[in-house]
Amino acid sequence: MARQVTGAARRVAEAAEVLRDEKFNARRIELAEAALETLGELGFARTSLREIAQNSAFTHGVFHYYFSDKLDLICCCVRHYKAKCVTRYDEVVATATSRDELTEGFLAKLAATLQNEARMHRLWYDLRAQAMFEAAFRKDVLEIDKSLEAMIWRIASRYAELGGKRPVSSPAALYALFDGLFQSALLRHLADDKTAIPELLDEVRRLLPTVC
């Protein structure tokens, strides 16, 4: 009986700990989300913990309570950002019943995210560049890159399927192409080049049938 009691007690204790962990993690994500605001505004190089805190409802001490250091915080930000990103086109891929429908749905989302979430995208390119200097970022960045590649591949595969074909290039090459075009369009868009988005759409519209 003693064993049962201690067993139950341990289960209760473990449940409590799991709860605490979940709460802890939820808070971390709240903080990461707040940090992403400032990071997207200023970029990695110019963002300090104090600046993050001032642009949020938190004090700078909280960030140190929930994160071991600055890199820990930013890694958490990157990981959180990932989850949002890679599903952007999934609905379009799932519901499109023709090549045209898929094309237009994809392009609409592409234009919208370039327009409305430019700050998050530039942060991603910033952090990917940081990963080339800071080894601590590399694992997460490479992982996100892989899942973005998979995201593009799902679109291309579906597009090819709808035309009874198969993509003509590797997932890596296809991702490189779209990522390169997107990155260039983003920079031009941020430099107030009004033609950046339409020209990206034209380019992708022309490219899609030739690669799939």
Partner DNA sequence: CCAGAAACTTGACACTTGTCAAGAAGGAAT
Partner DNA sequence: ATTCCTTCTTGACAAGTGTCAAGTTTCTGG
Q: Which stretch binds its own copies (CB under 8 A): 77-85, 103-111, 155-163, 198-206?
A: 198-206
Return the residue of 32, 38, 40, 58 that touches DNA, per CB under 7 A: 58
Determine the 3-state secondary structure of 18 from DSSP.
helix
**Which residues, in sequence order, are CB contacts of 139 under 8 Å at separation 6+?**
none
Return the residue of 29, 37, 70, 211 that touches DNA, per CB under 7 A: 70
Indicate whether 62 belongs to the interface with DNA (CB under 7 A): yes
Q: Which is nearer to DNA, 48 or 95 (CB)?
A: 48
Return the residue of 32, 52, 130, 212 that touches its own copies, per CB under 8 A: 130
Return the residue of 29, 111, 120, 190 that touches its own copies, per CB under 8 A: 190
What is the C-alpha separation between 200 and 177, in angstroms, rounded? 12
> Which DSSP string do the residues of 113-158 spell out, in sequence order?
HHHHSHHHHHHHHHHHHHTTT-HHHHHHHHHHHHHHHHHHHHHHHH
User: Could you say which DSSP state residue 98 is in?
Assistant: S
Indicate whether 23 belongs to the interface with DNA (CB under 7 A): yes
Determine the 3-state secondary structure of 81 from DSSP.
helix
Q: Per CB under 8 A, which of residues 160..179 are in contact with its own copies?
A: 168-170, 172-173, 175-179
Smallest gap from Cβ 131 to DNA, in A, equals 18
Q: Which is nearer to its own copies, 96 or 141 (CB)?
A: 141
Place of tokens 């327009």: 115
Smallest gap from Cβ 182 to DNA, in A, equals 29
What is the C-alpha separation between 208 and 110, in angstroms, rounded? 14
Q: Which is nearer to its own copies, 44 or 153 (CB)?
A: 44
CA 151 to chain centroid, in Å, comes to 11
Handedness of CA 168, 173, 178, 180 (dihedral sign): negative
Indicate whether 104 belongs to the interface with its own copies (CB under 8 A): no
Q: Are 36 and 120 in contact, with CB atoms under 8 Å apart?
A: yes
Judged by the rule CB under 8 A, the positions of this chain that interact with its own copies are: 42-46, 122, 125-126, 128-135, 138, 141-142, 145, 168-170, 172-173, 175-181, 183-184, 186-188, 190-191, 199, 203, 206-207, 210
> Where do contacts with DNA occur on this chain (CB under 7 A)?
16, 20, 23-24, 27, 46-51, 58-62, 64-66, 69-70
